[in-house]
Amino acid sequence: MPESNSAAGRLKSIVADFGSEERLQGWESVDQYIATSRFESKLTGEMRRYLGYPGNPLTSRLAAVFDQVYYGERLYRRIYGVEPEVRYESGLIDREQVIVTEESLSNLRQTVAGTRMALATGRPYVAAEHTLGRLLGYFERDASVFIGDGDIFPDQALMLSKFKKPSAESLILARKKFSSKVLLYVGDSAEDRLMVENAGVQDGSVLFASIYGSSFNDKEQISYFAGTNSDLIVKNVNQIPIMLELARN
């Protein structure tokens, strides 16, 4: 059977069609696509109810299994305070490699006097701490945003939802906390770029340092960032202190 006529082939076609347009509303974009593409049916409704979609790991089977595999049983238990049904002693998070080095973070502070740094991440604070360890100490917590905390603390969910990319709210928060005239944001995706554009319109001058080395296609990523007038394009985040030092001289 030709792949185009197989289930896998049809799924690839649907994914390609979905990805052919800019969709920035997360799961809401998926639901809109399903509705407009006439994939909505009694079966999809039943699947939503069974999986608890959309939802967080405390209310959704789908989200719970994902996080149990990703975090592993110990970290999952620490984050959510409940026993996981899927037990992995070590989660996929433990396979991640932290790219930024402590030397680079230290050099950033030395290169630009008074440098202050913040994080904007979809992870909960505990997960960021697990991955970054002592490096997290270089970032000011009250200027940082950990959107995943909304899944752990329901009373924070609504407040944190406004920070989801490509919202510029996390950049605006950092600028206010730092009382900074200029902010340099480092990112590696189109959503990151859109965050900067939104922040520039809403809150003044925000520069964007784009990272292309984490993409599947370096050439396409460089072309995209160059076409969107990125202020700095580098392969690796650890090159930023060097580039800033060269610019200063």
Residue-wise pLDDT tens digits, 114-161:
789 999 999 999 999 999 999 999 999 999 999 999 989 989 999 999
Tell me what the mean pLDDT of segment 148-177 comes to. 92
* Domain range summary for the chain, segments of one domain joined by +: 27-94, 102-248
- Say what the pLDDT of residue 181 is: 84
Question: pLDDT tens-digit profile of 30-88?
Answer: 888 888 877 788 888 898 899 988 888 888 999 999 999 999 999 999 999 999 998 88
Instruction: Please give the single-letter amino acid code of residue 45.
Output: G
Q: What's the burial of 34, exposed, middle or buried (CB within 10 Å: 0-12/13-18/19+)?
A: middle
CA distance 183 to 178: 9
Assess contact for 224 and 189: CB atoms under 8 A: no
Residue-wise pLDDT for 7-31, tens only, equals 788 888 887 877 777 666 677 788 8
Which top CATH class is 102-248? alpha beta
Beta bridge partners of 183: 206
Q: How many CB atoms lie within 10 A of CB 111?
A: 18
